[in-house]
Structure 1
């Protein structure tokens, strides 16, 4: 509903009601200007491009707080999102006044501070999600982040640090006896740090040679670590090799598990906290003389071994507990053989077979001659 009326002072008052029956009005010197404004608003409403002008007065920080409070996030994701919010240079800018230049300056400042391209990309993606939600909620007409240029990420093959077999061996030799099985769970079963810390004795089925991953230890801001379901609901069954089963059996027999059944308890009997594990890892890596390798590099070691042994994408996805095969491919696609690699191997087999026959026939050929 829209209308134009002439006021006693001679000005023209244009008004309309939006989808929420909220009235909006503006005054103009000329009737033609009032009609033009109403036509523009009507076109925006019809095409779905309308945004409440009053809603755009709220600052981006206020909107981000409102939007993030509705998100179903894990505890650490909430912590990371709040870190992004506090790092913004345009938090006090009203939504309707937010421009691409605000975001591009923020990116430039993060680069100047030496943040890694992956970190910058992740932070910007969080802000983009909030802006897209503002457009869907009709707080914004358009997304001002669409043209923002992000720093180029390093090549995945170069950026990913995959622990080598030699490095894993050195780490196993350097660590304390009660933590050897921890390295084994990460390197030979592909468990994440939090998942390895949350394994209990009852999770290991020695008879069927498998292990259930049903929980993880997760940091909580301002409080002790929590026992939570695995990341992205990635509860799974891991099929354990005999070598790892032996490590786990020795660990349990040595009495290193707690009375409550946790395989890797801290001094309180509860599972090791992520900060405690991180401290142990840095000390172990230094003792082993291994640089640039994180605990997550052991998980990459496991994944690369499965791929090298010919496992398909779905098999690797299930073993790692990824949300979907596309996540696995996005992470490890560079480790799978390419079509060129397969062609080269196949043609090599043909050549080897033919050359082998030629060598075998050579003596008989000489005898005939």
Structure 2
């Protein structure tokens, strides 16, 4: 049975009360009580009389614990108490004991309870380990601490995208602290971050000729891998974790159900795709033929549906290192050292958009967590209102001029 919570109460009391006019002590019938020497008995002095500060403010916190603070003046005690009560009402209350914990100590305590994959653990540790306020008490954190840290990252220098990622990871810690009543106001609000370059200026999209050359240059053990990234938009880890049974040749579909990750740079792990992006992707006939040839090449290994499409060492599939080695070799062979394997995913997305696919269709094909993520990444590839207006007007122009019996004048009548 749970312990009932104490009633919320608050007030200011005088610890030196009844000193100026001691009250007489009376018997039940109202008779004055006397001391042994015959002098009238009076109320005793408070135990705290003359000890410490006179006024004590007290209240009950969210965990039913009574908190107190003493002051020289009643007005100061009342103001402190009013601020506490207001913070409890607005949800900005900070536990005075818990608020003394440093940022680093709170993160260590909080992170130990989180259900994170190894990649998230690494990213969070990297971000929180880079802050310049790790020894500052949570209740003392100010926006200036965050601004100093952001400026230090910019001076290193770190890319704006890296700074934003680390900032958001640290912000998640601060928000957790606010929920736990360790932090009042979130100091990360309204912090200005370095501006990122426009997505269309930073994004690299391989040409169709480059993608074709990459597939041709790759050997029989890797050409299907390149095809999956370029013509199905799979991430590296998703393509590496593909099994024979994930390809449905009858329905012309691929089921993405897992990904390969390396923990601490060594151990190979198989787990759910990024952001829970399990999905089924329609596959073009050309890619299906490429995959069929690849399966035929490895048929001597096993015909089981759970066989890895791209076997690695031992029982494991290929992983980031083995894929990276093959990728660097073929891109060098075609003279495209600037291309990354992830750029093939941009190639796939741009092709879907150019073909007229809407944002939800592209989101589902790429396995993004939301349409917002897709738009933030690829919005510049969709035609804007001017492009649509121009195309519609062009269609009207052609239909009107082609149907008239009078051809357009091509030279002056003068």
Secondary structure of 1:16's partner? Answer: strand
Structure 1 residues 59 and 115, CA, compared in 2 at 3 Å: closer, same or farther?
same
Q: Does 1:185 align with 2:193?
A: no
> In 1, Cα distance between the equivalents of 2:350 and 2:265?
37
**Shift of residue 51, structure 1, vs aligned partner:** 0.9
Larger Rg: 2
Q: Does 1:129 align with 2:138?
A: no
Match of 1:244 among 283, 287, 298: 287
Q: TM-score, normalised by structure 2?
A: 0.82
**Shift of residue 35, structure 1, vs aligned partner:** 2.1
Q: Does 1:88 align with 2:131?
A: yes
> In 1, Cα distance between the equivalents of 2:171 and 2:250?
49
> Which residue is 1:119 aligned to?
162
Q: How does 1:267-282 map to 2 (within 5 A)?
A: 267-282=313-328
**Shift of residue 257, structure 1, vs aligned partner:** 8.2
> Which residue is 1:327 aligned to?
373
Report if aligned partners of 2:243, 2:309 keep a CA contact under 8 Å in 1. yes
> Which residue is 2:354 aligned to?
308
**Shift of residue 73, structure 1, vs aligned partner:** 3.0
Q: Does 1:159 align with 2:188?
A: no
Report if aligned partners of 1:14, 1:35 keep a CA contact under 8 Å in 2. yes
> Which residue is 2:50 aligned to?
9
Report if aligned partners of 2:328, 2:337 keep a CA contact under 8 Å in 1. no
> In 1, Cα distance between the equivalents of 2:300 and 2:80?
73
Q: How does 1:1-369 map to 2 (within 5 A)?
A: 1-3=9-11, 4-6=13-15, 7-9=48-50, 11-12=53-54, 13-221=56-264, 223-255=266-298, 258-259=301-302, 261-357=307-403, 361-362=406-407
Report if aligned partners of 2:247, 2:253 keep a CA contact under 8 Å in 1. yes
> In 2, Cα distance between the equivalents of 1:137 and 1:236?
36
The Cα offsets for residues 116-157 of structure 1, whole Å up to 9 and x where unpaired, read as 100100100111121122122211110111132100011011
The Cα offsets for residues 312-339 of structure 1, whole Å up to 9 and x where unpaired, read as 1222122112222222222211111111
Report if aligned partners of 2:94, 2:139 keep a CA contact under 8 Å in 1. no
Report if aligned partners of 2:258, 2:272 keep a CA contact under 8 Å in 1. yes
**Shift of residue 48, structure 1, vs aligned partner:** 2.2
> In 1, Cα distance between the equivalents of 2:234 and 2:69?
61
Relative to structure 2, which stretch is displaced further, 60-69 or 251-260?
251-260
**Shift of residue 249, structure 1, vs aligned partner:** 1.0
Report if aligned partners of 2:312, 2:318 keep a CA contact under 8 Å in 1. yes
Report if aligned partners of 1:15, 1:25 keep a CA contact under 8 Å in 2. yes
**Shift of residue 295, structure 1, vs aligned partner:** 1.3
The Cα offsets for residues 68-93 of structure 1, whole Å up to 9 and x where unpaired, read as 33333332112111111222221111
**Shift of residue 15, structure 1, vs aligned partner:** 2.1
Report if aligned partners of 2:178, 2:186 keep a CA contact under 8 Å in 1. yes
Structure 1 residues 258 and 312, CA, compared in 2 at 3 Å: closer, same or farther?
farther
Could you list the runs of 4 or more consecutive aligned residues of structure 1 that deviate by over 6 angstroms after TM superposition?
A: none
> In 2, Cα distance between the equivalents of 1:211 and 1:150?
40
Q: TM-score, normalised by structure 1?
A: 0.92
Corresponding pairs, count? 362
Structure 2 unmatched ranges of 5 or more: 1-8, 16-47, 409-414
**Shift of residue 223, structure 1, vs aligned partner:** 4.5
**Shift of residue 215, structure 1, vs aligned partner:** 0.9
The Cα offsets for residues 181-238 of structure 1, whole Å up to 9 and x where unpaired, read as 0000000011111000011111111122111111111121265111111112211111
> In 2, Cα distance between the equivalents of 1:160 and 1:142?
37
Secondary structure of 1:315's partner? Answer: helix
